[in-house]
Chain A
Amino acid sequence: MRYRTQAVAYPYWVVALLLYGLQMVFGLLAIVKYLGPDPIRAVLPFDVSKAIHTNLLIVWVLTGFMGAAYWLVPEESRTELYSPRLAYWQLGLFTAAGVTAVVGYLFRWTAGNKLLEQPYPVKLAIVVVMLMFLYNVGMTIWRARRLTTTEGVLVAGLAGAAVLYLPALLEFDNYTVSIFYRWWTVHLWVEGVWEMIQGGLLAYLLIRLSGADREVMEKWLYVIVGLTFISGILGTAHHYFWIGVPAYWLPIGGIFSALEPLAFLAMAVYAYAATRRSGLAHPNRMAVHWTIGSVIYSAFGAGILGLAHTWPSVNRWTHGTMITAMHGHMAFFGAYVMIVLAVVTYAAPILFGRPHEEHETAIGLWAFWLQIAGMFGMTMAFATAGISQTYLERIIGLGYLETQQKIQVHFLMLLATGILFAAGVALYIYDFFFLVPRGHREPTPWPAAEPVEA
């Protein structure tokens, strides 16, 4: 570690990984309920397990992002963090808000709005957390008088996430209007500012792992985030299909969301070019695995699988089927889960003062490949379930319940591959908590200094 206060990231990632593990429990529960019958329907019905599953995802990925920012900002701005104490308080408050929400759901305390189920007081607490974060990071950069493009993109992404959370606080009597603004938060997060965060973290990792030239990397980073917003802002329209908004959103949604894969493709080219130019000789090979994995899976999951059902004439038939779950799972995993795990994997040996090479453990590799294989299988299970559902229920006109019975076999496959995936997650957590700290030693000297830029 170059700066002592970078260690603030550690508790953030501890919380993030624990919640990631918990997310798996509720995901597996949800699959079992799909298979049915459900003996605990009265105590923990499907809607509760689903809300907890998705909310844990959002909370832990955000926690991971903020941890990554606390790791990266001191290093980029070459200074200590403004206030580690504030960062700890912030983590405490965020964890408390997240846990309150999850426990609340168990007792049916919910706003019942998809992905924004957090009850109002919890939403306010989240806003306070975001403000604490932005203040702390802002003051750090301000005092250092040094802002690199990489950290600028990352922090702007997080600031954007905070701003775009505000529409979630509004309420409308008209359901169509409330859906309209719900997507300002949800879509403009995951296909806007979160992609910015992903881009910033990717640039950081590529610079560190491949030793690529910072000037060149940051130059193209602007192109990536530019493409993200050019396609992503109007791409919001792909959520404005069939919900009672003017018809011009249909072609706009079709065209601009068809452009959305460009940003992910650009990231892939970006990573490829960086490794071509400078090689990937970094000894932390696990971090290289996760970084490259993230690029490939996000291009596939967010880019191609999104494109698969975004054209209005296709979406007319697939809207509201398991096809959406197919895209959602791989996109989130590839773009956001994997990039957080990449940063954690990269930083862990440095945090624990171990040589990078020793970070490639057999368990670490299993954790990686099980998650990769598990998510691939799950995506295929959702896809086959979704295609069958679209055909039987939407095209042939079979009843919903009869269709669900006919596609049970895909849910079995989902369960099997979901178990593989969860095993990968468990191994990752085990690796992080038990293997790495055991050989704790004095920090090794910082690896070869990066070229200092102007």
Chain B
Amino acid sequence: MTKRQTRAFFYAGTGVFGAIFIALTIDSHRQFPTLTHSDRITPAVIAGKHVWHRQNCVNCHTLLGEGAYFAPDLTKITQQRGAAYLKAFLKDPSKFYSEERDRRLMPTLALSDREIDELIAFLDWVGRIDTQGWPPRPILVTGAAIPGTEAVGAPPRAAASSDPVALGEALFRRTPPGCSACHSTAPGVNVVGPSLANAATVAAQRVESPDYHGKATDAAGYLRESILDPNAYVVQGPTFSSGGRSLMPSDFAQTLEPRQVDELVAYLMTLR
């Protein structure tokens, strides 16, 4: 080969592959609106993106798997945690995590309520982007090493089963809805929400107690109500509520099918 030929190789190679790249870029622009649901980019989402950048979140966290590896990935966080919890967490992370136990702690950022709402709107929009099935299994902030939160996919017996209890347990351990990211089924282990080790027994006591003013009349009804309307009765505890409102997601009535709620209740009724 002569220098002339190698030079031609360089120019032609760069030119051809550069042109393909530009063509695919144009095509990608055609598809961005559908893939990213750009119609959902509201002013709050845009404002939230600015807060995200201003606060340098990406140099601790990853989002869509990109960023720094010092803190958990946040791509699906709003589907795992819900807005109420995230609001309370972003106000003061040290209420939920401890540096002694976890060896690291998110600093308390001086965020206004409005900025927090915008951040959550932004993260919620990101969570709906079509990521081609990534992550292949949920990335949890914490859990599984905590007794009673083993998120080992669906328990094997659920696979070919139509047993509502098995299906309920499988769903409980899946993200979303992410019940097990907040609830342990081991006695006395409170993660974000209370331990559900004796859920059925506790539920029966709650409906009987004088300070219960909800609509349920029995344990199963109480459990159903706890899932669909967490604020009907708010359990007291250090990380359970903020300003009297439950930190459990309040939109399961919309995101879960009635059959799934039945299954969850059936499963929880076995925990005595």
With contact pairs A230-B17, A250-B132 given, residues A320 and B69 touching in the complex (Cβ less than 8 Å): yes
| A332 CB to nearest chain B CB (Å) | 16
With contact pairs A243-B131, A244-B130, A400-B141 given, residues A50 and B18 touching in the complex (Cβ less than 8 Å): no
With contact pairs A219-B2, A242-B64, A399-B144 given, residues A114 and B59 touching in the complex (Cβ less than 8 Å): yes
The segment from B48-56, B196-204, B209-217 found at the interface with A is: B48-56
With contact pairs A174-B32, A219-B3, A233-B18 given, residues A320 and B73 touching in the complex (Cβ less than 8 Å): yes
Judge whether B152 and A320 touch: CB under 8 Å: no
- Chain B positions within 8 Å of A242 at CB level: 64-65, 131-132, 134-135
- Chain B positions within 8 Å of A394 at CB level: 135-137, 139
- Chain B positions within 8 Å of A175 at CB level: 36, 49, 63-64, 122, 126, 129
- Chain B positions within 8 Å of A369 at CB level: none
| A309 CB to nearest chain B CB (Å) | 12
Judge whether B134 and A222 touch: CB under 8 Å: no
With contact pairs A233-B18, A234-B17 given, residues A180 and B72 touching in the complex (Cβ less than 8 Å): no
B interface footprint on A208-231 (CB within 8 Å = 1, 0 otherwise): 000000010011101101110110
A residues 304-326 with Cβ under 8 Å of B? 316-317, 319-322, 324-325
With contact pairs A401-B102, A404-B103 given, residues A113 and B129 touching in the complex (Cβ less than 8 Å): no
Alpha-carbon separation in the docked complex, A223 to B5 (Å): 9
With contact pairs A223-B6, A244-B131 given, residues A38 and B54 touching in the complex (Cβ less than 8 Å): no
With contact pairs A248-B24, A400-B139, A401-B72 given, residues A174 and B36 touching in the complex (Cβ less than 8 Å): yes
Alpha-carbon separation in the docked complex, A229 to B141 (Å): 39
A442 interface residue (CB < 8 Å to B): no
Subset of 17 A-B contacts with CB under 8 Å: A36-B103, A36-B104, A37-B105, A41-B99, A110-B56, A113-B53, A114-B66, A222-B10, A229-B18, A243-B66, A245-B28, A319-B65, A394-B137, A398-B143, A400-B71, A401-B141, A402-B142
A residues 235-275 with Cβ under 8 Å of B? 236, 239, 241-250, 252
Q: Give the size of the chain A interface in residues (CB under 8 angstroms).
A: 77
Q: Which residue of B lies closest to A321 (CB)?
A: B69
- Chain B positions within 8 Å of A112 at CB level: 52-59
Judge whether B143 and A399 touch: CB under 8 Å: yes
Main secondary structure of the interface of A (DSSP, over half): helix
Interchain CB contact (< 8 A) of A114 among B17, B32, B68, B71: B68
A405 interface residue (CB < 8 Å to B): yes
Q: Hey, which bits of chain A sit against chain B, CB under 8 A?
A: 33-38, 41-42, 45-48, 50-51, 108, 110-114, 117, 149, 173-177, 179-180, 215, 218-220, 222-223, 225-227, 229-230, 233-234, 236, 239, 241-250, 252, 316-317, 319-322, 324-325, 393-402, 404-406, 408
Most chain B beta carbons < 10 A, residue from A117, A176, A219: A176
| B22 CB to nearest chain A CB (Å) | 9
Interchain CB contact (< 8 A) of B103 among A35, A252, A317: A35
What range describes how many residues of B lie at the interface? 35 or more
Give the A-B pair count, Cβ closer than 8 A: 236
Alpha-carbon separation in the docked complex, A322 to B55 (Å): 23
B153 interface residue (CB < 8 Å to A): yes
B residues 1-47 with Cβ under 8 Å of A? 1-3, 6-7, 9-10, 13-14, 17-18, 20-21, 24-25, 27-29, 31-32, 35-36, 38, 41, 45-46
- Chain B positions within 8 Å of A230 at CB level: 13-14, 17
A interface footprint on B80-121 (CB within 8 Å = 1, 0 otherwise): 000000000000000001011011110100000000000000
| B155 CB to nearest chain A CB (Å) | 13
| B134 CB to nearest chain A CB (Å) | 4
Interchain CB contact (< 8 A) of B21 among A222, A233, A402: A233
Judge whether B144 and A246 touch: CB under 8 Å: no
B151 interface residue (CB < 8 Å to A): yes
| A393 CB to nearest chain B CB (Å) | 6
Interchain CB contact (< 8 A) of B69 among A51, A244, A325: A325
- Chain B positions within 8 Å of A220 at CB level: 6
- Chain A positions within 8 Å of B97 at CB level: 401
Judge whether B56 and A108 touch: CB under 8 Å: yes
- Chain A positions within 8 Å of B105 at CB level: 37-38, 41
